[in-house]
Amino acid sequence: MSESIKVVCRVRPLNEQEKANDSKFVVSFPGDGDTTVSLGGKIFSFDHVVQPKASQLEVYEVVAKPIVADVLNGYNGTIFAYGQTSSGKTYTMEGILGDPVFQGVIPRIVDDIFNHIYQMDENLEFHIKVSYFEIYMEKIRDLLDVSKTNLPVHEDKDRVPYVKGITEKFVSTPEELFKAIDEGKANRHVAVTNMNEHSSRSHSVLLINVRQENLETQKKLHGKLYLVDLAGSEKVAKTGAEGTVLDEAKNINKSLSALGNVINALVEGSSHVPYRDSKLTRILQESLGGNARTTMVICCSPAGYNEAETKSTLMFGMRAKTIKNLVTVNEEITADEWRRRYEQEKEKVGKSHTIVSHLESELKRWRAGETVNQADWFTENQYAGALDDTRDSTTRSSVPSTPMLDSVTTSTPRSAALTNASPAKNVGDVQLQLLYQQLDDKGDEINKQAETIARLRQQIEEQDVNNSLRTESEGQFKEITALQAKYQSRKDEAKEVLQALEELAMNYDQKAQEINAKAKELEETQETLLLQTSLMHSKDCELSQLKDAHENQKKKYAEMMSSLLKDLIDVGECLNDRITKPSVGSERLDEEFTVVRLYISKLKTEAKLLHSRVRQLEEERVQHVQLVRKSDDESKDLRRQLHAFEVKVGALSDKIDESKSRKRQLQETVDSLNAELAKLRANEQLIAISGQQNEQIIADQSALRVKLDEEFRRQSEYYAAQVKSLRNELDEKQKKLEEYKDEANTFKFQSEKSQEEVKQLREELETKTKRLDVFEKTAEKREQAKQDLRGLEETATKELQTLHNLRRLFFEDLNSRVKKSANRVNALAVTEMDAGNQEGGNMASQQQISESLFMEGDDDEPGEAGLLVQRQKIALLEKDNDKLTKGHKQLMHDNAELRCELVKVEKRHKCTLERVHRLELSLKEAKEGAMRDRKRYEVEIERIRGLSVNRISLDVVVNHKSLNLYVLDIHQCPLLAVVVMGQ
């Protein structure tokens, strides 16, 4: 089956760059605009023309939807987009993937293929494979496996080209196929040029191979669908290509010129078609002049800047439209199917042999001069009955049907007539003359009937003209009534919009009042915040004073500890001295010990006071943190309210845009009514020429028409002035809306900045809380150290008490021993004086002295033991003294670290206060901006109300116009006019 390539022309709208360059829209659409395009005075016709306002769905309905069923029925299909760069090829083929409105041909055709498969018979089994590759720099690159960069093109046994080694993925759902498309699209080469920010630098080909098998009949079909997105032809002077982009442009233009040569050769019917000049044409060999149903989408730019390229594209499409493809079904026939067909054909041939033998025998009888009875003739019914079984068994019959039998059956009576013609020759001549006379009579009657038919046809044509004019007038009257109804509905909608605007204005006033209330609350919170900050300053001052006092107390404590240690050392030395001199300085030691006790009790009271003060400062810090969090919550609420107001402003702007669009629609209806009025006037002129009987009525109506024209002109001028003023007001309003948007953006930026600052403040607050926790832990450690010092003080006091008791006992023992020794010395002196001359007394005196010395030695033993005990206790006291010095040094080190941290915390606290002040200033500025926005919004509401008044005046104008049109419609239909005038 031979079919022509289907060519669809799509003209995109002007892009932003062309609008900025003030390019003109040079393309027009004559006639209905569905099949023709005009450029430079020349008209180009195609199978379908897609205008700029057409949606992606309309493009798909025209271009790709018919091919889906063909591919599933075993045919090959190809869709490719051709055009210059930035003409909308990739947008047509791909669009925006995942967007139901703006997605292109490829995603829609994928969904449609699977929807068709889901609706088909359950006995059909489908296998779908997908390949995706690009032709980049005349090299075939696999987009599903980027390691395959230069793949060759081969031919199969049927001389059909294919890409060898290409990756083929089996898919079973649309999601899997879309995943493969996304993967390939991410690997495609794209670059930026002066004409297109996303210029395709390669020809991409998406091949979908569909194979189906009927599980009951074992019938197998397969179809291939090529979806090709060609790279656009480029002019280097326009695109500004350089380096690699320039090389890419050269290869793109080379392959596209090869495609043009192939199409020219096919159009001219050349014996040699240069498919092998490019890999692109080699792959598209089956699509151009081969076995495929091909649709070409030529994408054009309507700008005058690209007029030459657009004209070249249109001429290319015109040439491609004349190419013919030979389309056949791709069916795989199994051995069993071939065997079954062979048996059918064999049976058919056998039956045809029997039929031929019957006919030959009957023919021989006729030729022999034998008259065969009609009952013995081999008729058409017998022939059909002989072939019924064959027709029922075969699905595609190739045996010639009844026309052949007609020729055979009609030939047999002729042969009989020839055999019987000789005896009845005279009778035939007479009958022939009679027939000739009858033919002459019939000819005369036919001529008369032809004349009457011509006359009646002329009358019918005149009647058709009158009927057409009448139907046109009735249709126009119906259109006018419909337009009036539409106008009334638009009027009601405008009223509803005005009511909605008034409600919005009331809501805005309410919200403004709420904002004022919130602003007052915010001011109150700011005042409280200022009070809290002042309290914080005062507390900080008190804290610094307490810290100074604490430092002084620490210094005093250190001095007292050092003096205490010195005193302890002195006490030890005194003890050593007082062992030999026990009676010196006992009262002084007691006084020093009492002084130490007083200092220790004083230090305890000061530590308690400092601990209570730290607790008070911690409670105040918690209160300040709560106040800061409360202020953060209030700022969040204000931001939410601000966002809500921004949303409402956006809704109001959308409604204003809707009112603009409705105004434009009303203006378009007015223009269409003007065109219809012109048509009605032309029809009236035709009726005036054809109908001479209504001259008097037309004369009467002409004066009325003149008056109505004057009234209509006056109303139209008034309407034009109103429209001009409305347009000016709308322009001003648009400018102000843009200013409001800019201010909203600045306010949004400031709010985001304030949010960031608040976030930073929160982070700093968290760090400060962490450091305060550290300070609390250090304070706890300090309290523990104080408790340890208390224990040491108690132990020291106990040891001193025991030491004092031992000293007292030691002094008492020494006094008693001294007294005993003095008494003994006196007694010995007396005895020596009494027995001065007695010799026997010497022995006794020596014995007494030895006893006394022995007694002194016995008395000295407890004194030496007491000295050892006292030395041990002094060693213990020295150890306790070392421990106390170490604890004191550790406390001094912790105190120094706390002083450093305190300075850092004070600096950060000052920074937080400065940032809070900045936030307050920004909040005040935001409030002032909100007040300015409110005033501007009130001004806009007043202007919208003024516009509503102008619209009411416009409604009056349109009512006058509808009245004029209704009167003109009465003029159009004369009979109706007569009835009206009669009434």
Burial pattern 727-741, b for ≥16 Cβ within 10 A else e, equals eeebeebeeebeebe
Q: Please tell me whether 88 is known to bind a ligand.
A: yes
Please state the three-class secondary structure of 680-723 as a single string.
HHHHHHHHHHHCHHHHHHHHHHHHHHHHHHHHHHHHHHHHHHHH
Confirm or deny that 87 is annotated as ligand binding: yes
CB atoms within 10 A of CB 610: 20
In angstroms, the CA 538 to CA 536 distance is 5
**Which pair of tokens denotes residue 646?**
């921004």
Distance CA 462, CA 451 (A): 17
CA distance 842 to 267: 171
Residue 554 is labelled as binding a ligand: no
Q: Both tokens of residue 343?
A: 């048996």
| Alpha-carbon span 117 to 125, nearest angstrom | 9
86 is in an annotated binding site: yes
- For residue 84, say whether it is annotated as part of any ligand binding site: yes
Q: Assess contact for 83 and 299: CB atoms under 8 A.
A: yes
- The string of DSSP letters for 81-119 reads EEEBTTSSHHHHHTBSTT-TTTB-HHHHHHHHHHHHHHH
Rounded-to-integer distance, Cα 555 and Cα 559, Å: 6
Q: Provide the 8-state DSSP code for 243.
A: T
Question: Using CA of residue 514, residue 520, residue 524, residue 526, what is the dihedral sign?
Answer: positive
Name all contacts of 243-249 with Cβ < 8 Å and 24+ positions apart: 245/191, 245/193, 245/201, 247/137, 248/136, 248/137, 248/189, 248/191, 248/201, 248/202
How many residues would you count in the chain? 983
Say if residues 648 and 503 touch (Cβ distance below 8 Å): no
Question: How far apart are alpha carbons 137 and 239 in whole angstroms?
Answer: 18
Q: Which two tokens stand for residue 888?
A: 């004191």
The conformation of residue 30, written as its DSSP 8-state character, comes to -
| Residue 89 among known ligand-binding residues | yes
> Please, are residues 628 and 765 in contact by the beta-carbon 8 Å criterion?
yes
Residue 390 near residue 348, CB atoms below 8 Å: yes
**How do strand 324-326 and strand 48-50 relate by DSSP bridges?**
unpaired
Q: What are the backbone dihedrals phi and psi of residue 323, each rounded to the nearest 5 degrees, phi first? A: -75, 140
> And the tokens for 950?
């102008």
Helices and strands (H, E) in the chain, number of each type: 18, 19
Looking from the CA of 436 toward its CB, the CA atoms found within 13 Å total 6
What is the greatest pairwise CA distance in the chain? 232
Distance CA 391, CA 345 (A): 11
- In the block, which residue shows the tokens 């967007």? 99
Flag whether 797 is marked binding. Answer: no
415: annotated binding-site residue?
no
Concatenate the DSSP letters of all residues of 612-673 into one string: HHHHHHHHHHHHHHHHHHHHHHHHHHHHHHHHHHHHHHHHHHHHHHHHHHHHHHHHHHHHHH
Which helix (H) or strand (E) segment holds residue 937: the answer is: helix 840-972
CA distances (Å), origin 608, targets 237, 419, 557, 681: 90, 154, 14, 110
Question: Using N-to-C axis directions, what is the helix angle for 244-268 and 307-320, rounded to 10°?
Answer: 40
Closest CA to 120 of 71, 169, 79: 71
**Among 730, 739, 741, residue whose Cα is nearest residue 664:** 730
Binding residues for ATP, by number, are 83-90
Binding residues, by number, are 83-90
